Structure 1
Amino acid sequence: MQLDFRNINTLWSSVIVETLSRLGLTTAVICPGSRSTPLTLAFARHPHIETIPILDERSAAFFALGIAKRTHLPTALICTSGTAGANFLSGSY
């Protein structure tokens, strides 16, 4: 994967995604939002990570949990800032 040097956010996002890929991550469930755009784009551009967009955070959490249980591999969840991350808690148990 080629690193994106346009600004510090895109650089760090591409480094994080590449690191996760090298550690074995193959799937990311994305709840798009403006603050998570650099991270979302880095996941979407990575050739070895499947990205699945889901608008509702609660649904995304349960969907990611199902993928993780089926594959026995971790699944990334990406959301915007604020209270959006709290909605992931419903699917984390």
Structure 2
Amino acid sequence: MPIDFRNLNTFWSSILVETLKRLGLTTAVICPGSRSTPLTVAFAQNSEIEAIPVIDERSAAFFSLGMAKKSGLPVALVCTSGTAGANFYPA
């Protein structure tokens, strides 16, 4: 599926995800939200990075922490703007 680069957020999100892939990222845990849609779509369209959706931000943080500890590899976390990121703090 071709990517529509008329939106600058889509363009830069795809570049960021491609860069993370080249640096060795293999997994992203995504808490979907409207403001993070371009980043979420970029992860979902990259077949070499496993994108795992988790609705609850706090659960996603602990889930990704467990994955990172077990595998020894970094795991990306994506959430929307506002207070959503604060739910990652307990992990």
- Which TM-score applies when normalising by structure 1? 0.93
User: What's 2:14 paired with?
Assistant: 14
CA RMSD, aligned part only?
1.1
2:34 maps to amino acid: S
TM-superposition CA deviations, 1:33-59 (whole Å, max 9, x none): 000000000000001100100010000
Per the TM alignment, residue 6 of structure 1 is displaced from its structure 2 partner at its CA by 2.5
SS at match of 2:40: helix
1:44 paired with 2:73, answer no
1:68 paired with 2:68, answer yes
| Structure 2 unaligned blocks of 5 or more | none
**Structure 1 contact 25–75 (Cα < 8 Å) conserved:** yes
Percent identity, aligned pairs only, is 72
Find the aligned partners of 2:24 and 2:80 in 1 and give their Cα distance. 24
- Residues matched between the structures, number: 90
1:46 maps to amino acid: N
Per the TM alignment, residue 4 of structure 1 is displaced from its structure 2 partner at its CA by 4.4
User: What's 1:58 paired with?
Assistant: 58
SS at match of 1:65: helix
Q: Which runs of 4+ in 1 moved over 4 A?
A: none
User: What's 1:5 paired with?
Assistant: 5
- Which TM-score applies when normalising by structure 2? 0.95
| Structure 1 unaligned blocks of 5 or more | none
